[in-house]
Amino acid sequence: MRPVHEVADVLQRNHYRLDELVTNSWKLRTLYALAACRTPAMGGHIDQCTNPDCNKIHISYNSCRNRHCPKCQGHKREEWIRARESELINAPYFHVVFTVPNELHEVFLQYPKELYSLLFKVSWSVISDFSSNPKFIGGKTGMIAILHTWGQNISFHPHLHCVIPGGGITPQGKWRNSKAKGKFLFPVKAMSKVFRARFAEELRKFIYLDDNLYRNLFAKKWVVYCKRPFFGPKQVIEYLGRYTHKVAISNHRIKSLDNASVTFSAKDYRKGGKIHSVSLKDEEFIRRFSLHILPKRFIRIRHYGILSSTLKQVVLRELHEELGIVVLEQKEPIKHGICPYCKKGELVTIMTFDNRGPPKRLIGIDHKLLIALKK
């Protein structure tokens, strides 16, 4: 069901002052792209249904295809998930979350590219070393890490969601399950302490840290949260589908746009996930949303260890032979353009147009005449 309100609506009604609200040129370009998505400003195309019983013409405006756009993630997400399905290992999987304390948020905002990269680097070092320890696995494991930078009220909250198989490959080349027998991956208190120490040390190499701030970092508990194992491969895929291509806020969460304010739903996890409403003035909503626009070309989904692109081509084939292939429900091929009228035929592009819009004389015209005019 199409949402009533969109992030683009907020950006469009503040179009005249976006450059006052957001001074970073890269973020500003992103916001302009989101505001223009699927509007005449992007140009468009004329499609026709391949179903001979329908044969209707459909006019569409182009998408911005920006990874921060709530409207442009559906197909990307599904394609990415399909690619990951064939890489599943027939073993338990765990969900681990790495977070940093509030005291570091300003530093992250000042050096986003460097500190996001550091978060990935240190998190993998912790997982890799615990996996190598014979007390836990004694082998090399893998990890898919997904960067999120937001909380439910779209405030700044950088953290990594990681999917990790509950086992690894021993130096002898054999698979070994975690010695916790699927109940947990590694002890979270020990992981938290190691993560805190390594991140603080790496951070001191990068920038000068005030002694008081450094002491405060060690005075606080850093949260490394390991959820219960997934119940099976299907749950792993469903999880990845929810988290991989998320943006700071989906259009469906926006409830109203009144009096230059945005009201949206949010979960309060301190109250068991109870849903409540949050209202922000337009300028505050835009300010918070822009906090989550990633640096140019920054990779927010990364693969490590036996799930990395360099290893998985060989390792996964051997693991599938040793452990068996994970069998999932057969899915229909992805169809990128289904006719909105008959819901059966696919849409084929027969003409494109620029931001001046579709030629009025061609709207509703016969398909054969369109082809003739195109030639």
Residue range 315-324, pLDDT digits in tens: 998 999 999 8
Rounded Cα–Cα distance for residues 147 and 90 (Å): 25
pLDDT for residue 241: 78
> How many domains does the chain contain in total?
1
Does 370 have pLDDT greater than 50?
no
- Residue 235: inside a domain: yes
So what's the pLDDT on residue 2?
Answer: 82
Which SS3 state, helix, strand or coil, does residue 139 take?
coil
Segment 75-93, tens digit of pLDDT? 778 788 888 888 899 988 9
Please check whether residue 150 lies inside any domain of the structure. yes
> pLDDT, tens digit, for every residue of 21-63?
999 999 999 999 999 999 988 898 888 888 888 888 888 889 9
- For residues 124 and 202, is the Cβ–Cβ distance under 8 A? no
Best CA proximity match to 60, nearest among 287, 370, 361, 357? 357
**Distance of alpha carbon 159 from alpha carbon 176, whole angstroms:** 29
Residue 364 pLDDT class (50, 70, 90 cuts): low
H or E segment at 242?
helix 233-243
Question: What Cα–Cα distance (Å) separates residue 256 from each residue in 9, 34, 292, 351?
Answer: 11, 19, 22, 37
- The domain that holds 186 is classified in CATH as 3.40.1310
The pLDDT of residue 375: 38
Q: Cα(283)–Cα(281) distance, rounded to whole angstroms?
A: 6
Q: Does the residue 165 lie in any domain?
A: yes
Is residue 179 situated within a structural domain? yes
User: Model-level pTM?
Assistant: 0.89
The mean pLDDT of 349-356, rounded to a whole number, is: 84
pLDDT attached to residue 369: 40
Structural domain range at position 201: 74-248+295-323
**What is the pLDDT averaged over residues 199-223?**
86
Task: Give which of 133, 136, 105, 131 is closest to 119, Cα–Cα.
Answer: 105
Residue 3 lies in a domain: no
